[in-house]
Amino acid sequence: MPKKYLIADEFGTHIGKHSQRLRLTRSKTREKLGDYPLLHLEAVLVLSQGVSVSADAVQACSERGIPIFFIAGTGRVYALLYSAALVGTVSTRRAQIRAYDDERGVAVAIAMAQGKLRNQRAALRYFAKNAEAVRADAVQIAAQHVQDGIVELDRLPRTASLDEIRNILLGIEGRAATHYWEGVRAILRPTFDWPGRRTRGANDVFNQALNYGYGVLYGQVERALLLAGLDPYAGFLHADRPGKPSLVLDLIEEFRQQVVDRPLIGYVNKGGHLEQDEEGLAKPTRRKIAELVLDRLTTRMPFEGERLSLNTILQTQARRLAMFLRGERDAYEPFVGTW
């Protein structure tokens, strides 16, 4: 199978270009750790400090549209290298900024919230099928509470401004999330002691694993938005803040359950080990999570009469969002995966 992702997670390694491939080596000994043909490569992920990347490798990736992600131990993408040509489109970004102040922005915000809740509901129902009776009942109850949130979203007026409706949207989303994570807690195998969802400052291994997985997905979402000509920092559902890529946070909502939650929950429930060290997630665990997420992105599923990879669906959603904002589509429909 072609190597689609180069993962550099060891201190003191180097990524260089050799002919038509990238090569990962140990910097001191020049020991070769792997060759990655540029023809098949989709992304480079740097998961450790002390990794160097040659200018030739950066140029080769830029010319071929291969992004280079730098991901901290917490899952935060602290840098992303991509071709400057990706941000050359202007008309889409102008339409994106204007949409914030009219009904298009409201429609997008509601649609993305609906996508998140529908995927949460579907995920809970999927996992309830394989849970013991008592746990399955708890999961189904959580799914019904999420369904209540979907009904609330359906009733929201599409004529209000984003500033008027955002707090209502986030309130509905937050209540549904509480029930969703209660359902996930019931889904996890009983021997896996999980305190519940925590985001910032999480100390337990499963929350850290979720945050790391979302970080890997986050980079893929930002790339999809850039390829569609959109500004990752001008969102609709999430408010603008300096340094906060709010549109990335908007679009990622449609994909969290399919791309991160599903493979990670499945891995844990099948006895997979998540380990920590003094710095947080252990290096083998970070690599495993990255592999789970990246492998999941290559999974094909039914999508409007075709079988497409989740990566392709993600890019399709970004392009359709851009088309809607430019007035080339009548509506933006969120992605809801099959389970």
For 59-87, what is each residue's pLDDT tens digit?
A: 999 988 888 999 988 888 888 888 876 66
The answer to whether position 146 is within a domain reads yes
CA–CA distance from 121 to each of 172, 177, 224, 227 (Å)? 14, 10, 25, 30
- Count of all residues that appear for the chain in the document: 339
SS3 15: strand
- Check whether residue 45 and residue 109 sit in a common domain: no
When divided into structural domains, the chain yields a total of 2
pLDDT computed for residue 310 by the predictor: 96
Which pTM was predicted?
Answer: 0.89
Q: Which residues are annotated as a binding site?
A: 173, 238, 253
Q: Which residues are annotated as a binding site for Mn(2+)?
A: 173, 238, 253
* Selection from 207, 154, 200, 202 nearest residue 181 by Cα: 207
Q: What is the pLDDT of residues 14-57, one digit of tens each?
A: 999 999 999 999 988 989 999 999 998 988 999 989 999 999 99
Residue range(s) defining the domain that contains residue 56: 5-66
> What are the start-end ranges of the H helices in 228-339?
246-252, 256, 262-269, 283-297, 310-325
- Of 29, 50, 66, which closes a domain? 66
> How sure is the predictor about 296, in pLDDT bands with cuts at 50, 70 and 90?
very high
- Check whether residue 228 and residue 261 sit in a common domain: yes
The answer to whether position 318 is within a domain reads yes
- Check whether residue 167 and residue 61 sit in a common domain: no
- State the CATH number of the domain containing residue 37: 3.100.10.20
Contact 217/260 with Cβ under 8 angstroms?
yes
The answer to whether position 76 is within a domain reads no
- Of 51, 66, 81, which closes a domain? 66
